[in-house]
Amino acid sequence: MKLYDMELSGNCYKIRLFCALLGLDCESVAVDLFKGEQKSAAFLQLNPRGQVPVLDDGGTVVWDSMAILVYLAKKYGGESWLPGEAEALARVMQWLALSENEILYGLARARVIKLFNRPGDLAQCQQLGKAGLAVLESRLANGSWLAGDGPTIADIACYPYVALAPEGDVALDDYPQVRQWIARIQALPGYVGMPGL
């Protein structure tokens, strides 16, 4: 299994983390985003969006971190990571939606504006990110994990950019439940970190 990867990308880290938790061997193939390798003709054959992460599992190519988490959970993870029952599956999907909206366009974007000097409205991203954190905080006041009694891919999808929020100048001091949830994820057997975590 190969992951087209970038070390500082939280979206790529989601996949490295999930593979580690599942005990899967995954070779990392570095893609240099600063040189624009993700827009090369060869890479666009893998992902027409021109983004990492992309997974190649023995010729099955899947792009987008959310889709890759679903693929890995279904193929190698089992029911606990992605349940099939209607309500339980919908609960996971709710948090995947949050990960691709408030977390990606809020917290992750604030981080790239600060860390990589990317253009964007920092204050607006921080405000959106905080709205997402408030939703997480209220859920985690009533449960240890986002979508059920144990960890699911919802937790893996939300975790990286929430834990990295201080790199976008969004402090986690006001979100004690979120901080405890971060500690619970970091205590999972097989957990691996990334730069900044």
Ligand X SMILES: N[C@@H](CCC(=O)N[C@@H](CS)C(=O)NCC(=O)O)C(=O)O
Q: Which residues pair with residue 189 across a beta bridge?
A: none
Tokens of 165: 């929020």
Q: How far is the CB of 9 from ligand X (least distance, A)?
A: 4
CB distance 111 to 168 below 8 Å: yes
- The least CB distance from residue 75 to ligand X, in Å, is 18
Contact pick of 38, 95, 102, 153 for ligand X (by CB under 6 A) = 38
Please list every residue from 56 through 75 that binds ligand X, using CB under 6 A: 64-66
Q: Least separation, in Å, of the C-beta of 81 and ligand X?
A: 17
Question: x/- contact string, 72-101, with ligand X (CB under 6 A)?
Answer: ----------------------------x-
Least distance in angstroms from the C-beta of 166 to ligand X: 18
Query: What is the β-pairing status of strands 27-30 and 60-63?
Result: unpaired
Q: Can you tell me which of 17, 43, 53, 102 binds ligand X, judged by CB under 6 A?
A: 53
